[in-house]
């Protein structure tokens, strides 16, 4: 990667988010129009806003819906399955789903495996991004849960919701390493999504560089995403300026 990425390169990876259950149609329209104008990878919203957003965004921009609890993930595999299934039925192209962390010594264990299987089965072949909440995990648990998510078939491992801490350089590096190792042994080409506190262009560039240094094949929106809203402020005129 060059010392300074072009705006276009970053926009291509951007999941523009508006995760506010009380968002007005005016707010949603602003996000949709920005995403369509600048051709971001996706717009990420709650399922209740799916119909409006799907009808407003350019078809080249994917509709990503959070499901199964946000920012805290559901503890019930059955609830996760139902929520993800409903989101899939609303025209989603992608699903972002929190795998709720646990500070117990057995994490990740059978309970997490059951939740991941529910996510994967309910997402019906859509792109599945599993949110790991890395700020709440030590290295051992982050590596273990990343491996489990990838083994179940997650298309992306995502650093966090941003509600309980931001994405650290270390987390980005660990997830990229685990994705790289997974690809050596298994079919498929999963990716990494970094999110949480990425409001400056320099932060996005640094995290992208960290990931590419770990595995140069993790490039493009099929393998890498950035979840942000306030990052748009630096990338284009008239950005949202929301956290």
Contacts of 203 (CB under 8 A, 6+ apart): 197
Whether the Cβ atoms of residue 187 and residue 221 lie closer than 8 Å to each other: no
How far are the Cα atoms of 105, 125, 232 from residue 96, in angstroms, in the given order? Answer: 26, 13, 20
Whether the Cβ atoms of residue 240 and residue 30 lie closer than 8 Å to each other: yes
Domain boundaries, the chain: 7-235
Handedness of CA 170, 14, 157, 48 (dihedral sign): positive
Helices 139-152 and 110-122: angle between axes, nearest 10 degrees: 40
Q: What is the DSSP string of 185-223?
A: HSSS--EEEEESS--SHHHHHHHHHHHHHH-TT--STTT
- In this prediction, residue 237 carries a pLDDT of 61
Please say if the pLDDT value at position 242 is more than 50.
no
CA dihedral 63, 81, 167, 220 (to 10 degrees): -40
- In this prediction, residue 110 carries a pLDDT of 97
- In this prediction, residue 238 carries a pLDDT of 42
Whether the Cβ atoms of residue 199 and residue 231 lie closer than 8 Å to each other: yes
Q: Which superfamily does CATH assign the domain made up of 7-235 to?
A: Aldolase class I (3.20.20.70)
Select the more confidently predicted residue: 56 or 5. 56
Digit-coded pLDDT (tens) for 159-189: 999 999 999 999 999 999 999 999 999 999 9
On average, the pLDDT of the chain sits at 94
Digit-coded pLDDT (tens) for 177-231: 999 999 999 999 999 999 999 999 999 999 999 999 999 999 999 999 999 988 9
Please say if the pLDDT value at position 2 is more than 60.
no
Nearest to 156 by CA among 46, 62, 21: 62
- In this prediction, residue 235 carries a pLDDT of 87
In the numeric block, the tokens 């650093």 are attached to: 159
Cβ atoms within 10 Å of 117's Cβ, excluding its own: 15
Contacts of 126 (CB under 8 A, 6+ apart): 88, 92, 93, 94, 95
Digit-coded pLDDT (tens) for 90-117: 999 999 999 999 988 899 999 999 999 9
Whole-number percent of the chain with pLDDT over 90: 89
98 bridge partner residues: 131
């Amino acid at each position: 990667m060059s010392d300074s990425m072009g705006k276009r390169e970053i926009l291509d990876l951007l999941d523009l988010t508006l995760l506010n259950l009380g968002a007005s149609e005016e707010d949603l329209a602003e996000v949709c129009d920005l995403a369509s104008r600048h051709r971001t990878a996706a717009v990420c919203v709650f399922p209740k806003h799916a119909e409006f957003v799907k009808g407003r965004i350019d078809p080249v921009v994917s509709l990503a819906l959070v499901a199964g609890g946000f920012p805290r993930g559901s503890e019930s595999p059955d609830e996760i399955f139902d929520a993800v299934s409903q989101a899939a039925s609303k025209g989603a192209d992608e699903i972002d789903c929190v795998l709720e962390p646990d500070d117990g010594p057995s994490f990740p264990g059978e309970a997490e495996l059951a939740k991941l299987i529910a996510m994967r089965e309910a997402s019906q072949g859509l792109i599945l991004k599993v949110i790991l909440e890395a700020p709440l995990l030590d290295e051992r648990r982050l590596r273990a849960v990343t491996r489990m998510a990838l083994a179940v078939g997650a298309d992306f491992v995502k650093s966090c919701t941003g509600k309980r801490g931001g994405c650290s350089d270390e987390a980005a590096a660990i997830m990229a390493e685990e994705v790289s190792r997974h690809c050596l042994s298994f079919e498929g080409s999963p990716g990494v999504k970094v999110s949480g506190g990425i409001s400056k262009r320099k932060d996005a560039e640094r995290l992208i560089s960290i990931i590419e240094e770990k595995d140069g094949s993790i490039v493009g929106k099929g393998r890498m995403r950035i979840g942000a809203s306030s990052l748009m402020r630096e990338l284009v005129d008239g950005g949202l300026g929301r956290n």
